[in-house]
Structure 1
Amino acid sequence: MKISSLTLILFFTWLAGLMPFTASAQETDPVLEHLIEKGLEKSHSLNINQLETEQAQVDQKLAKSVFLPKLTVTGSYTRLNDDISFDDDTQSLLKATQKLLIKEAAGIPFNAAFPEHIPLQDINNLQNKDILKSSVDVDWVIFSGFEASNALKAARHKESSLRYAGMAERDHIILSIIETYDQLALVNASEEVLAASEAFLEDQEHYVKKAIENGLATPISRQKVALARQQLAARQLEYSHNRKLLIERLHQLTGEDKEVLRSLEPKLAPMSPDNLTPAKRNEILALEEAEKATAYKAKMEKSHFIPKIALKGHYEFLEDDLSLFDPQWYAAVGVKWNLFDGGQSRLNSRKTQLEAGKFRQQIEEAEEMIALSIVKAEHTYEASLQNSRIAQKEIELAGATYEMVNKQYKNNLATITDVLDALRDLESANFQLQESYYNQRRALTALLHSKGQLNY
């Protein structure tokens, strides 16, 4: 079916505004939102960050557990080679003492003989050779010299730092997915532009064929149109390959099924910002929390010289096998005071303070780089808006030029080469418009990210 030049000009005009509205910067289509969600779930770096965050949470619990009493129940059986008892002289002395006490109690004179019918009690062993013990011990730290409290605060700030670092990594993953998705939309828009060019060439080929039949054109003109179609086919093949590469990239980023990705038809739409008020970036917040964590770690190492106080208790469940010197239970309060450790605590604290100084330098450097990126992104976004307006004007001019040259050609006032050149200019203008939309979206996304407003 023959397509008129006016119809094709109108088609190109429709392509010039593929999306008849301007999307809000934070309004993503459901497909892109789904891909972002899949990409965040798949990300190995985010999963590693989550594990590190959970480790910091465990560190906090470990710091708290210092103040919980530790209960230890033990049991043991020991067999000695023999009972431990007093020597013979001591046993004789103890028995003699026992006789004296019995005489005194019975009213027998001191010098009288001891009655044979009164039994004497055997002298107990100091320790029987079979020893069965079961006991419970309690150790309870009641003051750690602020080590535990500073360790807890350091772990909390470390957790916050890891969370902000994860959010910063999350932003980079989202940016990669959005960029790849927009590149796919640009390829789709470019393929539609090429489809419009193909329709133009079909119209020209039909006209040239009729002109040759009527002696109004030479076979050279048909060869030029055929060459133009081959060049168009080469460009279509290039964009087809680009589409396949982008599908592979999206599959790598999101893990989404390739068949689903091949069915996507994303569109480019100009974007307008919702909120460009700068907010503190996650990278800065992560460094600030890391700086605080190292500061508390330095305090923890300094507090190594503060005395520590602890309670200790012990209770024996079995009394039978205790020696004569073993208590059944005891309770004690102890103080541990590290007076000198060779300077290790001081040096470790100094090393940690230097680490905090490194974080401060990184924060200042990051703030400078972010400020520069904001200025650059603002200029790039303004330039992209101007380029889009210029591309619109170029399409209008290229469309009018093609229409004029096409009429001149059909009135033998221009050559087929002039027509094909005008068609390529029209095609190029449409490419530039779609690229300007793509660059505009990239510039605004970069601006939102640099100002900490990438809220997806």
Structure 2
Amino acid sequence: MKTSSKLLLFLLTCFSNKLIAQTAPTFQELVDSALVKDYKLANQRLDIELARIDRKKLNEIYLPNADISGKYAYLNSSSTVVFPQTTLPVLNIPIPEIDGGFNSRANLAKADLNISSVLFSGGKVPALKQALDAKTRAQEVLMEKSEQDIISEVSKAYDQIALLSQVKVLLNENQKRLDINLKTATKALGYGLITKYDFQKVEVAKTQLASKVQEYEGKRALLIQQLNRLTQIPVSRLELIENDLRPFGQPKNLNTIENRAELKALNSGIEAYRHSVKAAQTWWVPKIQAAASLGYLNLFDVKSTAKNALPLIGRPELRADKIELAPSLVLGVGFKWDIFDGLKGKREVQKAKIGVQKAINEKKDAEELLKLNLIKNTTDYENSNAEIKVKQKQMQVAKGALDVAEKEFKVGLVKASDLIGAQADYQTAALDYYQAIFNQRRNAIELLKSTGDLTTQSIQ
């Protein structure tokens, strides 16, 4: 029973995968795939990860630092001592005159364990944390702009495919008309109603139509390759896309730029600079650190030889098997207070304040440019709506003229050149109409970008 269930699950999985492979991707899938694949967006995510690592490093400043060190040394030295005869005070011990040299050698072994930890940073670390948090927020917001650029690029290619689909419909309609008109022209030529020159015009129009069909196929293939580069979705699935080209609905929130990612990022940038000022202002606050040290010292096989017998000892040689100091433990807390640092701290504060002012100026400049851009895109969108109405009317008029020309051609009232001219006028008017819809959609998307409201939901 279990084997049968596993087999059924396997067959269902294979069937679903095959079904997905045979279906065209939705616009949402195209955008999602492009967001995953985009290298610029991937690098922005890595930059945010780097900022988070820097944030963790600031948290870890208060963690203890421990290190172990050790060394061995062989000591060998020669010296000359000239000392006049004297008597030790109080003890009244005579010391004879010393005039000779010493040779000394020894072995030294030393090991240390050092531990230190920051107890108080003077408020600099918390301020730097807040600055990094603001910087990270700015980076995250700027990702929204990159995502909107990707949505806009995918949408443009998707709409271009829809535009080409309308072109294909027009070409197919013209093909049917030319086939019918060619039959009519053939009969008319047989009855002597038209000249051979007029008949050849119909044939030339059919050849030109075949050339336009080939041009259509080339443009569509190029768009499919572009979408493949953006999304990494297989070409076999992209070729199944058949979408309609319709005018864009009325966008919302047309009078504000508050949602623009650039402004949000600049606000976070200003906040980050202000926290940097606070961090720089802590230069004069005392910093406190705790430290501990555990050491081992061993001086062994010590030997010192003089030319003459040493006073008090009575022989020229002094030896020691071992001089050991273990353990050597030091515990303490220290502080550092920069009461005057040569004005370095003051200059850092001044530089940080200048950074704040520059960020404020950049925001004001950006606001002016974004407002101007919003006005331009609003005007372009409204003009494109009016353009659609004009082009639609022209297409309707051209269609009516073509219908009349076809009827008159069948009864011999107009020449083939007049019919072909009417067909060309209708095709041009129809293409202009669909191009106007495409332009309106582009202007609507640019308008949504101007207000910072461009998402896949807002354009579906």
**TM-score normalized by the length of structure 2:** 0.76
Give the corresponding residue for 1:293: 272
**Distance in 1 separating the partners of 2:178 and 2:350:** 76
**Distance in 2 separating the partners of 1:30 and 1:259:** 10
Q: Letter of the 1:348 partner, please give it.
A: E
Q: Cα offset for 1:373? A: 2.1
| 2:274 counterpart SS class | helix
| 1:364 counterpart SS class | helix
Q: Cα offset for 1:53? A: 0.6
**Distance in 2 separating the partners of 1:194 and 1:387:** 23
**Distance in 1 separating the partners of 2:333 and 2:327:** 17
For 1:175, which of 146, 149, 152 is the aligned residue? 152
Residue 359 (str. 1) matches residue 359 (str. 2): yes
For 2:166, which of 183, 189, 204 is the aligned residue? 189
Give the corresponding residue for 1:377: 377
Q: Letter of the 1:55 partner, please give it.
A: L
Q: How does 1:48-127 map to 2 (within 5 A)?
A: 48-78=43-73, 80=75
**Distance in 2 separating the partners of 1:31 and 1:397:** 36
Give the corresponding residue for 1:424: 424
Q: Letter of the 1:369 partner, please give it.
A: L
Cα RMSD between the aligned structures?
2.8
Aligned residues: 385
Of the structure 1 ranges 195-204 and 385-394, higher mean CA displacement relative to structure 2 is found in: 385-394
Q: How does 1:170-249 map to 2 (within 5 A)?
A: 170-249=147-226
Give the corresponding residue for 1:435: 435
Residue 31 (str. 1) matches residue 37 (str. 2): no
Residue 308 (str. 1) matches residue 287 (str. 2): yes
Q: Cα–Cα, structure 1 residues 252 and 344, in superposed 2: closer, same or farther, change >3 Å?
A: farther
Give the corresponding residue for 1:394: 394
Q: How does 1:272-291 map to 2 (within 5 A)?
A: 272-273=249-250, 275-276=252-253, 278=256, 279-291=258-270
Give the corresponding residue for 2:8: none
| 2:167 counterpart SS class | helix
**Distance in 2 separating the partners of 1:162 and 1:223:** 65
Deviations 1:353-378 (A, max 9, x none): 32332222221222222212222222
Of the structure 1 ranges 128-137 and 41-50, higher mean CA displacement relative to structure 2 is found in: 128-137
Q: Which has the higher contact order (CA 8 A, sep 6+)?
A: 1
Residue 41 (str. 1) matches residue 39 (str. 2): no
Residue 257 (str. 1) matches residue 252 (str. 2): no
**Distance in 1 separating the partners of 2:239 and 2:268:** 43
Structure 1 segments unaligned to the other structure (5+ residues) = 1-28, 83-92, 97-127
Q: Cα–Cα, structure 1 residues 168 and 136, in superposed 2: closer, same or farther, change >3 Å?
A: same
Q: Cα–Cα, structure 1 residues 274 and 375, in superposed 2: closer, same or farther, change >3 Å?
A: closer
Q: Cα–Cα, structure 1 residues 421 and 259, in superposed 2: closer, same or farther, change >3 Å?
A: same
**Distance in 2 separating the partners of 1:169 and 1:348:** 34
| 1:427 counterpart SS class | helix
**Equivalent residues of 1:77, 1:133 under 8 A apart:** yes
Q: Letter of the 1:175 partner, please give it.
A: S
Q: Letter of the 1:173 partner, please give it.
A: I
**Distance in 2 separating the partners of 1:354 and 1:257:** 52
**TM-score normalized by the length of structure 1:** 0.77
**Equivalent residues of 1:377, 1:443 under 8 A apart:** yes
Structure 2 segments unaligned to the other structure (5+ residues) = 1-23, 78-87, 92-104, 301-321
| 1:137 counterpart SS class | strand
Q: Cα offset for 1:392? A: 2.6
**Distance in 1 separating the partners of 2:249 and 2:171:** 28
Q: Cα–Cα, structure 1 residues 352 and 244, in superposed 2: closer, same or farther, change >3 Å?
A: farther
**Distance in 1 separating the partners of 2:359 and 2:209:** 55
Give the corresponding residue for 1:347: 347
Q: Cα offset for 1:204? A: 1.0
Q: Cα offset for 1:222? A: 1.1
**Distance in 2 separating the partners of 1:260 and 1:43:** 20
Q: Cα offset for 1:77? A: 4.7
Give the corresponding residue for 1:113: none
Q: Letter of the 1:210 partner, please give it.
A: K
Deviations 1:170-193 (A, max 9, x none): 211221111122112212221221
Q: Cα–Cα, structure 1 residues 78 and 320, in superposed 2: closer, same or farther, change >3 Å?
A: closer
| 1:140 counterpart SS class | strand
Deviations 1:205-229 (A, max 9, x none): 1110111112222111211112222
**Distance in 2 separating the partners of 1:343 and 1:178:** 56
**Equivalent residues of 1:319, 1:328 under 8 A apart:** no
Give the corresponding residue for 2:20: none
| 1:373 counterpart SS class | helix
**Equivalent residues of 2:107, 2:299 under 8 A apart:** no
Q: Quick check: which one's strand share is greater? A: 2
**Distance in 1 separating the partners of 2:278 and 2:212:** 65
**Equivalent residues of 1:298, 1:352 under 8 A apart:** yes
| 2:175 counterpart SS class | helix
